[in-house]
Structure 1
Amino acid sequence: MDRCRPDFAIRLIERIKHFFDIKNIVFVLVMDKTQFSKVVCHNYGYDEKLGEEYLDKFIDFKVSLLPINKSLHNELVTIPVLKKLFEDVGEFSDDIVFIFYKVLDKYISPRDMRRKINLYALLKTGNVKKDMFLIISIISGPNDVIKKFRLLTSEIDQFIQVHKLSSQEIETYFKDYLSLRVIEFLDIFNKLKNIESTTYAYDGGIDHKQNLILDIYSKCSINKISRLEDFPKQHQDYLNAYLVEDLESQDDEW
């Protein structure tokens, strides 16, 4: 109700009170009472206390909802929920679900989550490796795409080290405990890890190492890149080509 035009909302509750005060009929009003009270005060010139008293004429009792603890987003965004939402838009890759789940590091409303998934469905390339980075761009923005991916690989690497897991055991862990078959992510993860752990102690070895890393990211970029610095720009240009507005200012109709 608080999203309606203020004058309409006030007229609505007045009509409910005066025209529908019928036995055994209950109206449930969902509102931000504090904000609505301010609207009443503004419309009728009441002070804050009178605004509250005005609303009490229409409300017999109230139930306050606890505020969402935004630090507990993982309790709200679960893997089964994500799998269903992605399947609804024709995406069945567990890698995409895993990336979305892990990269999401702050609270997201159900509406915004569905909007981002719908946007992904519109823009996905069909190549899982590329689409993993696309979903990161949609969630965190293109400029942070490599940073977010590196943080994720670092987190997984630490988990492996602490629990002394082999490559096969980490796949089993994902399957048994997360119900996910994460294949493409682990393929990139293992290749990057092997490159980083290898010593290239010869002339041009460092350049060769960087070229190997570039080759991996190039295969995950929208188009082939010649510099790692071009990777975020590829995703920015790709998003801009399809979006009229910036991601943060999209209409709620998504």
Structure 2
Amino acid sequence: MTLKHSHNDQATADTCHFLGTESFVTTIAEDIEKSESPRTIAITGYWGSGKTSCLAGVYKKVTATSPAEITNNKQEQTGKYTGIWFEAWRYQNEVSPIIALLHCIKNHFSSSKKFIDGAGKLASVSVLGALTVLDGVIKQATGLSGFSKISEIGEKYEKDNLMSRLAADQINDALTKAVNVLLGDNKEKLVIFIDDLDRCEPESAYKLLEGLKLYLSIPNCTVVLAIDQQQIERFLQKQFINLMSERKSEIDSQYSYLGVEYLEKLCQEAYRLPIPNQKQKSDFFISHLKLLFEDENGSTVIADLNEILKSYDVLPANPRRLKMISNKLAGYLRKVDGSNVKGVINENCSLFKEFNNIIEPKRSESFAAIALIISSLSVSYRRIYESIELRADAARDIFDFVTSEKGTNYSTPSSAFYELNKDHRTTDVQAKYEHPSDLSIFKLKPLFDEVTGLHVYTQSTPKTISEIMHQFVNYFNHNQVN
């Protein structure tokens, strides 16, 4: 079968690629529209849960354009609001990250087509003056002369719009008026989207948050942060403890709450990214898998997988991992595409001879399920995957693992199941909250269940399933049948 190239890990602003968060994105966009500024909104969620794509989706909702930093295609924003996209971790080594953000704001407006005349120059004195005020704020933030030496090109703007003397406590007033000029008559707010703050070092994250409070708490500006809330709270707590230590102040239990309280004070609203349900994960996975096929030869496998995923909740909630599994599965199907399975009827074909024990249509369904299992193991449970490559009976250990008492030989460090520390025999995984990147939960458990598992569904045996999985991996990795 013919397949396209694999998916990359780039976030997207297109709602068709969201993992059940279309309504969530719309709600945040409506909050921005209906609420008064200044306002700071947080989109919170675990690493890998899709915060960047949601942030980009909100950006597209309010600006009618996807972020150029994601699409590599800069377009003029046509929505009601002007959006600034800022990837915080790229600037974490700056002495003051807020300066980098202010530069991004200035660069956005200074390069805007609506301000450029036919000769390629800024056409408006007011705009030039407003940009000069931004320059002054940047100088102030860097500890230079600030507003005391605003260049001549901004003097008229200063005289018309600002008090003759600008002091430090008038920075917000100056920025408010400058941003109003830059927004123009057809834009209502400046919306700043900050991504990857939780990837920064604690000190850098704290400096940027402090800068937001000092410089951008202005009436025509809304800030939207995409963060792992728990991670940021830990960063802030660590930063506050360090500050107390430097001041030789007493550190007691109250400081464990400072990070939480600081973030609550900064963010007027926090939206928790919803955990996708079984259907949303399946739809996301199947849609990405379909995009990798250039012909119809994969339709049978995809149809089989679609049915399997209706019955078995075995996919992670992490969109990055779902893309990786779809890439891996497509890669397997380039080489082991199901025609091999049909060929087992021929006695001369030794590949997957164990499939002779499975009757159609369950044979093709088994192939699809095993392709999914192998792909998932390769991405998320590599030690188990490697054991299956080495031993034809290794997958039988999986059947035993999901039904064994906790504390058996699978809890030793040498076991391929050692990292899977949840009790899969007595714990109802579906009833517990789901961390999208929690690899200690064996998500494939339902496919190996002794009552409802794949071997029951396909009327095969654990021995048959195990041998097929072994053949599958070795044919792909070594182009041979053991």
2:468 matches 1:231 = yes
Q: How many angstroms does 1:24 deviate by?
A: 1.5
**Structure 1 residues 232, 123: closer, same or farther in 2, change over 3 A?**
closer
Identify which of 39, 58, 63 aligns with 2:270.
Answer: 63
- State the shift of 1:144 in Å: 4.1
SS across alignment from 2:287: helix
1:28 Cα offset (Å) = 0.9
Give, in angstroms, the shift of residue 2 of structure 1: 5.7
Question: By how many angstroms is 1:117 displaced?
Answer: 0.7
Give the match for residue 151 of structure 1: 453
The alignment partner of 2:261 has SS state of helix
Q: Match of 2:443?
A: none
Amino acid at match of 2:199: C
The alignment's C-alpha RMSD in Å is 3.9
2:240 match: 44
Deviation at 1:40, TM superposition (A): 1.0
- Give yes or no for contact 1:137–1:144 (8 Å, CA) kept in 2: no
Equivalent pair of 2:325/2:375 in contact (CA under 8 Å): yes
Which residue matches 1:127? 337
| Partner Cα distance (1:77, 1:5) in 2 | 33
Matches within 5 A, 1:40-189: 40-45=236-241, 47-59=255-267, 61-65=268-272, 68=275, 72-78=277-283, 81-90=284-293, 92=296, 93-101=298-306, 102=308, 105-108=313-316, 109-124=318-333, 125=335, 127-128=337-338, 132=368, 133-140=370-377, 141=385, 142=388, 143-144=394-395, 148=447, 151-152=453-454, 154-155=456-457
Residues 229, 27 of structure 1: alpha-carbon distance in 2 compared, 3 angstrom cutoff: closer
Distance 1:74 1:144, change over 3 A: farther
* Corresponding residue for residue 186 of structure 1: none
Moved more, 13-22 or 124-133: 124-133
**Contact 2:285–2:326 under 8 Å retained in 1:** no
CA-to-partner distance for each residue in 1:147-195, whole Å, 9 max, x for gaps? 759934743xxxxxxxxxxxxxxxxxxxxxxxxxxxxxxxxx6xxx7xx
Q: Which residue of 2 aligns with 1:16?
A: 212
> Following the alignment from structure 1 to structure 2, what is the Cα–Cα distance between the partners of residues 152 and 115?
23
1:27 is paired with a residue of what secondary structure? strand
d(CA) in 2 for partners of 1:43, 1:154? 55
Q: Point out the structure with max Rg over C-alpha.
A: 2
Task: Name the counterpart of 1:203.
Answer: none
Cα distance, 1:128 vs. partner? 2.2
**SS at 1:106 equivalent:** coil
1:65-120 C-alpha deviation (Å, 9 max, x unpaired): 26527xx4234323xx4443122112642332244442653341222111111122
**Identical pairs, percent:** 19
User: One-letter code of the match for 2:337?
Assistant: N
Q: Secondary structure at the match of 1:30?
A: strand
1:98–1:36 CA distance, 2 compared to 1 (3 A): same
Cα deviation code 1:17-66 (max 9, x no counterpart):
2222332210111223333222211122071222223224422x123426
SS at match of 2:221: coil
Matches within 5 A, 1:17-32: 17-32=213-228
Q: Distance in 1 between matches of 2:274 and 2:256?
A: 22
Residue type of the alignment partner of 1:31: I
| Structure 1 residues 11 and 106: alpha-carbon distance in aligned structure 2, compared to 1, 3 A threshold | farther
2: CA distance between counterparts of 1:27 and 1:33?
A: 16
Match for residue 4 of structure 1?
A: 199
Contact kept, 8 Å, 1:37 with 1:55, in 2: the verdict is yes
Structure 2 distance, partners of 1:67, 1:82, is 17
Decide whether the 8 Å contact of 2:329 with 2:375 is kept in 1. Answer: yes
TM-score, normalised by the number of residues in structure 1: 0.52
Q: Is the 8 A contact 2:237 2:258 kept in 1?
A: yes
- Residue 6 of structure 1 and its aligned partner are, at CA, apart by 3.2
Write the distance in 2 (CA, Å) between the matches of 1:33 and 1:138. 31
Is the alpha carbon distance of 1:97 and 1:153 closer, same or farther for their aligned partners in structure 2, counting shifts above 3 Å? farther
Alignment of 1:188-207 (within 5 A): none
Greater fraction of residues in helix:
1
Partner Cα separation in structure 1 for residue 266 and residue 323 of structure 2: 35
Q: Relative to structure 1, is the Cα distance of residues 128 and 52 closer, same or farther in structure 2, using a 3 angstrom cutoff?
A: same
* TM-score using structure 2 length: 0.30
User: Structure 1 residues 94 and 55, CA, compared in 2 at 3 Å: closer, same or farther?
Assistant: same
Q: Which has the higher contact order (CA 8 A, sep 6+)?
A: 2
C-alpha spacing 1:107/1:65, structure 2 compared with 1 (3 Å)? farther
User: Whole-Å Cα distance in 2 between the matches of residues 20 and 229 of structure 1?
Assistant: 60
